[in-house]
Amino acid sequence: MTKIKKIAVFTSGGDAPGMNAAVRAVVRTAAYHKIQTFAVYRGYDGMIKGDIKRINTGDVGNIIQRGGTILKTARSESFRTKEGRAIAYENLKKFEIDACVAIGGDGTFTGAEVFHKEYNIPFIGIPGTIDNDIYGTDYTIGFDTAINTAIEAIDKIRDTADSHSRLFFVEVMGRHSGYIALHTGISSGAGCIFLPETNTSIEDLITILHKAHKRKKLFNMVVVAEGNQNGGAMEIAKKLKEKYTEYESKVTIIGHMQRGGAPSCSDRMLASRLGYHAILELIAGKVNVALGIVSDELCITPFKDAITQTKQPKASLIEMANILSM
């Protein structure tokens, strides 16, 4: 691989707290190694529209604590087409870009892999998604902040549930992954957790509630991942009401609040480490790979594996959640 002189960095897909910290680390590490950095605004869509600007170390000052992404983000249907990718390539070549750092989830990595195969531009991927569903890393940027946001909300809801002896269903994000629901449920002392990866039924929930009622537990908290097989929290609450009337139930959907806010210390550290190593791995000639941290060590995973391999919540954690909820 020839010496890298200019790189592009962009964020894509859903925003996640800590993305700015990753951008900061990329820009400053690149500057240290005499590499110029260009910011692509609004992800692949901005790449097609030519929204590309030079970015310096001073431009990334005072952003490590900010949520969202200063580079903005967007979905891009045009990038799914060969014509769109051809325009994106021409725009990168106008700035003589040698390589790209893509911060996002599996959709971002899928686009990077296709683009690399067509135009041979080196890509390094940094996993930024609150869902924590990227294979090849223990945690993704934004996950820790998201679960802390959810836990803070549930702690407040618990006060009302206790005061009124109510059953609360709390829906968290996770269309295909139950990591947020599982970690939030365990850490908030939920009585039951509905995950996309498990087959918890309404009958199972009724059994749990019966046991709680027998030991005179006056309220209960149920955490629901939005993508579980029984539907969202509203639907589960409706199904339960038809079969079980011992509790007065309420529903809270935390929603996009989980994506916002200042990133936690863990997310800032993770983002900084991965942004720093992204530049080092590009210099070392790594191409078409995603970076992650596994057992506190850097892990390098080919895009094809990061995209296609499934990352399941640990069975031991699910078992622990069931035992601790008794």
- What are the catalytic residues? 131
Decide: 293 and 304 in contact? Cβ < 8 Å.
no
DSSP state for residue 13 in the 8-state scheme: S
* Residue 302 main-chain phi, psi, to 5 deg: -55, 145
- Measured CA to CA, the distance from residue 234 to residue 171 in angstroms comes to 9
Rounded Cα distance between 268 and 107, Å, is 23
CA angle (180 as vertex; 174, 186 as ends), nearest 5: 140
Q: Where are the alpha helices (DSSP H) in the chain?
A: 19-32, 43-49, 82-94, 106-119, 143-164, 179-187, 202-214, 233-243, 265-283, 303-308, 315-324
The 3-state DSSP class for residue 268 equals: helix
Which class for 50: exposed (0-12), middle (13-18), buried (19 or more C-beta within 10 A)? Answer: middle
- Give the single-character DSSP code of 174: -
Q: CB of 151 within 8 A of CB of 206?
A: no
Burial class (CB within 10 angstroms; exposed 0-12, middle 13-18, buried 19+) of 267: buried
Contact criterion met (CB below 8 Å) for 103 and 10: yes
Q: Which run of H or of E encompasses 80?
A: none
Q: Of the candidates 284, 24, 316, which has an alpha carbon nearest to the alpha carbon of residue 141?
A: 24
- Element counts in the chain: helices (H) and strands (E): 11, 11
Angle at 22 between CA 80 and CA 70, to 5 degrees: 70
